[in-house]
Amino acid sequence: MKEVITVGNMRESDAHTITQYVPSKVLMYRAAMGVCRAADWKGKIGILTGAGNNGGDGYALACILADRGIACQVLRVSEKFSQDGQHYHDLALSKGVEIRMFAPGEDLRDYDMLVDCMLGTGFSGRVREPYRSAIKAVNNARAYVVSVDINSGMNGDTGKAELAVKSNLTVTIGYLKTGFFLGDAIWYLDKLAVADIGIRLVRDEYFLAAEEEIVFPHTGWALNGDKTELLTPGEAEDQLKNGQTVPELAVELALKEQHLIRVLGKNSLVSDGYRTYFVEEGSFPAEIVCREEP
């Protein structure tokens, strides 16, 4: 069983881990190492970086690739840096990595691999320039695309996206996010991997499980028992109110109706009102354990 968490939980858990256990620069390096281990790096590689720590992961990845003798270029989509991002940007420059600004309207079709480190899990709403042009350029390229943590433009909690990067591989950091199993995620995600970098959760939320693993000790109900109410994703969305997500609605309905609530779809979920499980069809995402120090 794997945890599936909200963006807020991830943010709090990240801050807690940094305060109590692991320095932020070490976590950023571990994240980049997890991404490095997840893909086969070859050909012409471009890393697109944004202003926050997602961009910092890209600079750290460039450092790791340089240490391994793998050439890459960094295309900055923002003039800004996070504090840790600035550290790895400067280190990448010292290692001879080519870093330049992305030009809106630029054609990226001569790259073999593109790494999306532009917008992180905290993003929501409509994508603005210059990120809008960069996302379109990535989607128009013929490259193998790796998104780091989440596909830029996607909401990490709801999976909704007005415009987002379409990836061949998404390497999410720490834990799976609820948005990967909801909303528009099916149209943007192909393969999904989790880089375990040692972040300690401040609270449990949802879970990803195979059908045969699903048990509800609080009620004794089984997924295939008599007290099961089925909803399609459309029926669930019709009942959403006050900014609820589908998992929150399932919890509310399960408590109200005293039934298991199952929402049917490519990534089904079921709740007894106390725990919510996502039921993934097919194999679980790959997990990459990365605890190396920089």
Quote the pTM value: 0.91
Question: Does the structure show a pLDDT above 70 at 283?
Answer: no
Q: How sure is the predictor about 282, in pLDDT bands with cuts at 50, 70 and 90?
A: low
Structure tokens at 181: 């199993």
Whether residue 120 has pLDDT greater than 80: yes
Sign of CA dihedral 38, 39, 40, 43: negative
224 falls in which pLDDT band (50, 70, 90)? Answer: low
Q: pLDDT for 151-181, tens place per residue?
A: 999 999 999 999 999 999 999 999 999 999 8
| Predicted local confidence at residue 218, as pLDDT | 75
Does pLDDT of 129 surpass 90?
yes
Question: Mean pLDDT across the chain, nearest whole number?
Answer: 91
Inter-residue contact 161 to 125 (CB < 8 Å):
no
Cα angle: 253, vertex 257, 263; to 5 degrees: 45
Rounded average pLDDT over 263-281:
85
* Whole-number pLDDT of residue 214: 73
Above 80 in pLDDT, residue 255? yes
Quote the percentage of the chain above a pLDDT of 70. 96
Q: In angstroms, how far is CA 167 from the centroid of its own chain? A: 11
For 21-144, where are the alpha helices, taking DSSP H only?
A: 24-38, 53-67, 83-94, 131-140
Q: Is residue 15's pLDDT more than 70?
A: yes
Stretch 225-236: mean pLDDT? 73
Is residue 195 classed as helix, strand or coil in its secondary structure?
A: strand
| CA 220 – CA 144 distance, rounded (Å) | 46
Please write the tens of the pLDDT for every residue from 139-156: 999 999 999 999 999 999
Return the percentage of the chain with pLDDT > 90, whole number: 67
pLDDT given at position 280: 77
**Can you tell me the mean pLDDT for 215-235?**
72
Q: pLDDT at position 244, please?
A: 80
pLDDT at position 42 is: 96
Three-state DSSP state, 202: coil
Tokens matching residue 13:
């858990």
> What pLDDT, on a 0 to 100 scale, did the predictor assign at position 32?
98
